[in-house]
Every structure is written in C-alpha cells, then in structure tokens.
Structure 1
C-alpha cells in the first residue's frame, strides 16, 4: 500500500512539474522544482494557472 501511495504522489509531482515547465516560467534546468513538496507544486501550479487566465 505504501508503495502505491508513493508512486501516485511521484506521478502527480511529475505531472505538475511538466505543466510548470510547459507554462514557460520554468525550465528543465530548474532542478529545485524536483525538491519541492507536492503541496508546494500544487500551490505554484494553481498560481500559474490563475495568472494565465
């Protein structure tokens, strides 16, 4: 069960990182994105999404 939850969290984090990079505000070289928590990534994604509207 723990592995399944960990996998789901890592998948969600990767999706958010990919979306932030696609937004153009971050680059693939932005290695600090990979150190952010899921909550941090969710907040940043929401912020960027609201800015784009």
Structure 2
C-alpha cells in the first residue's frame, strides 16, 4: 500500500510541476523539484488565483447593440 501511495504522490507532483511550468510561474524545473506536494499545491492554487484568463488582452467589456 505504501508503494501505491508513494507513486500517486509522485504522479501528482509531476503533474503540478508541469502545470506550473506551462503557466510560467517558475523559470526552471529545479526550483519546483525541491518543493513538497503541499507546497506545490499551494503555489498552483496561488498562481491560479492571481492570474486572470484575459490578463494579456485587458478587460472584457460588454457592449449592447442598439437595433
């Protein structure tokens, strides 16, 4: 059972590391490999919370068309 848990933790860590690299939260993988699973999850949640999906394009403004 402990091997299965250890493998699950490693798989989760690798997925979070890849997501953080894609989001440009960290420059290199070495920094991320030193973090624990809980630290990686915290960084990922913080990155998601701080990044807006339209941050590069500015705000979305709704306009109504008059017919």
Structure-2-length-normalised TM-score: 0.71
Larger radius of gyration: 2
Aligned residues: 52
Question: Higher RCO, 1 or 2 (CA under 8 Å, sep at least 6)?
Answer: 1
5+ residue gaps, structure 2, are 53-67
Give the RMSD, CA atoms, in angstroms. Answer: 1.1
5+ residue gaps, structure 1, are none
The ranges of structure 1 where at least 4 consecutive aligned residues each deviate by more than 3 angstroms after the TM superposition are: none
Structure-1-length-normalised TM-score: 0.88
